[in-house]
Amino acid sequence: MNYDIKVGFSRVNITPPLGIRISGYYVERIADGVLDELYANALAISKNDKVFIMISVDMLGLRDNVLNKIRELVAKNLQICEDSLFIHSTHTHQGPVLAVDDTATEIEKIYTEFLCLKIAGACKLAIDDLCPAKAGYAISKAERVAFNRRYLMKDGSTKTNPGVNNPDIVKSIGLLDESVNIVRFARENKKDVVLINFADHPDTIGGNKISGDWPALTRKVFENAIENTLCITFNGTQGDINHVNVFPKDGDLNGMFNDFDDVTRGYAHAKHVANVVAASAMCVYEKVKFVDVEDIGSKITIIDVPTNKAKPEEMEEAYYIDKMHREGKDAELPYKGMMLTTMVAGAQRKIRLLSWPESLPLKFSTAYIGPIVFAGIPGEPFAGIGIELKKSKGWEMICPCCITNGYMGYFPLKDSYEEGGYEANTSQFKAGTAEIIIEEGKKILENLK
């Protein structure tokens, strides 16, 4: 097999200072320590006169103001356009709050500027590292570390994360994809680069310390186990998937605690998830199918999607819930645990969308290397979206990725709006949006080349 492409890699440290707010919950957390450093990883792919860069950042999500700054810096330094940047956030819930609006603190503003410069610098370093390479792929499986997080309850309701051993659980709702996609880039006289694509919500740790959660730990485990390798992780369609096993047995709860929202978490469990995902990749690393790469490419296609604006009669309650939460009076609201989070987030969605238009443009991002293609969605798609996109014709392996080139919240499947739960209640988009993404996404993938 010939070295028919060029591949470059870089990794830069983006760990924020202590004292910055941590993102991911509807309660304030201030970083008071570092469990592990955060990084931006950049993978440059080149063939003939084409080049694109895939970036994986240990962040909850990057919104447009941050992405636009990164694109501006990269375009200025490298003459690489927006379509050639596939910028993914792993979605760790132990990363910093970024400056996205007028509520940002001074430390968040300074750090956000620093982050943009570091990511742009990582792109330059990856381009400088380009060398001859060949690409291969394999599909493995990581079992019992990802679970559906939505459940039908005995009273007929649907709850997200209803709590471990809850006797009112009837069954889980939704689809689950435990497959692990691996792309190996064997490089001439340089370390291999191994890309791992797996879907699981990185909300495994909790507390007030910085961490990249299982995606970052997976990279570390893999590189320590397989010599002369570099690893980069891209999270999959994890909107309704997380680490919580509601019916644990034996040692399943080792290293975990019950957090404020009735979700079991623990740093030791994040390590466990990383061990399982990394091991699944190790099992096939030596046996990937190397492929001829006749062409590469990347593209961003706009899909118009409808916003989920509230009905006028819903606003009085939304304002009340939001007011009580902002005044620190959650205990006076008639909700507990995850249901409290659901109602607060839903109220904020209704208020936020009052000034929004009836529809918004969604950036569907693609990047392909021969018969391997990545499909990026700017938010948190349900697992069913990824499963359906994988059925697109014309590709040997399709890797769906969440939170790519934007962060627009949840994309639940249509049925979940009637069923209820956190994701549908907080989604910024109407029922049927996921199905639009599937339909249009398949068309894009099947007509990409």
Nearest to 427 by CA among 377, 376, 381, 365: 381
Percent of the chain with pLDDT over 70: 100
Under the banding of pLDDT at 50, 70 and 90, the label for residue 281 is very high
Token pair for 47 = 């063939």
User: How much is the average pLDDT of 200-227?
Assistant: 98
Q: Residue 289: what residue type?
A: K
Percent of the chain with pLDDT over 90: 94
Under the banding of pLDDT at 50, 70 and 90, the label for residue 449 is confident
Token pair for 284 = 């096939």
426: Cα separation from own chain's centroid: 17
What's phi and psi for 369, nearest 5 deg? Answer: -130, 100
Q: What is the 3-state secondary structure (H, E, C) of the chain?
A: CCCCEEEEEEEEECCCCCCCEECCCCCCCECCEECCCCEEEEEEEEECCEEEEEEEECCCCCCHHHHHHHHHHHHHHHCCCHHHEEEEECCCCCCECCCCCCCCCHHHHHHHHHHHHHHHHHHHHHHHCCEEEEEEEEEEECCCCCEECEEEECCCCEEECCCCCCCCEEEEECCCCCEEEEEEEEECCCCEEEEEEECCCCCCCCCCEECCHHHHHHHHHHHHHCCCEEEEEEECCCCCEECCCCCCCCCCCCCCEECCCCCEECHHHHHHHHHHHHHHHHHHHCCCEEECCCCEEEEEEEEEEEECCCCHHHHHHHHHHHHHHHCCCHHHCCCCHHHHHHHHHHHHHHHHHHHCCCEEEEEEEEEEECCEEEEECCCEECHHHHHHHCCCCCCCEEEEECCECCCCCEECCCHHHHHCCHHHHHCCECCCHHHHHHHHHHHHHHCCC
- Among 1-10, 267-276, 281-290, where is mean pLDDT lowest? 1-10
Nearest to 242 by CA among 377, 339, 145: 145
* Residue found by looking up tokens 């021969």 in the block: 370
Q: What is the pLDDT of residue 101?
A: 86
Distance from C-alpha of 326 to C-alpha of 12, rounded to nearest angstrom: 36
Domain residue spans of the chain: 5-300+361-446, 310-355
Q: Is 220 exposed, middle or buried (0-12, 13-18, 19+ CB in 10 A)?
A: middle
Q: Residue 66: what residue type?
A: V
Nearest to 21 by CA among 208, 220, 196, 187: 208
Distance from C-alpha of 128 to C-alpha of 10, rounded to nearest angstrom: 9
Convert 162-200 to b/e letters by CB count within 10 Å (16 or more is b): bbbeeeebeebbbbebbbbbbbbbbbeebbbbbbbbbbb
287: Cα separation from own chain's centroid: 27
User: How much is the average pLDDT of 228-242?
Assistant: 98
Q: What is the pLDDT of residue 68?
A: 97
| Summary mean pLDDT of the chain | 96
Distance from C-alpha of 414 to C-alpha of 430, rounded to nearest angstrom: 9
Contact in structure between 349 and 427 (CB atoms under 8 Å): yes
Q: What is the pLDDT of residue 27?
A: 86
Residue 336: pLDDT above 90? Answer: no
User: How much is the average pLDDT of 29-35?
Assistant: 98
Q: What is the pLDDT of residue 26?
A: 80
Under the banding of pLDDT at 50, 70 and 90, the label for residue 225 is very high
Q: What is the pLDDT of residue 2?
A: 84
Find the angle CA(17)-CA(239)-CA(26) to the nearest 5 degrees: 45
Contacts of 267 (CB under 8 A, 6+ apart): 35, 204, 205, 211, 255
Q: What is the pLDDT of residue 338?
A: 83
Distance from C-alpha of 76 to C-alpha of 86, rounded to nearest angstrom: 17
Contact in structure between 200 and 213 (CB atoms under 8 Å): no
356-392 residue pLDDT tens: 999 999 999 999 999 999 999 999 999 999 999 999 9
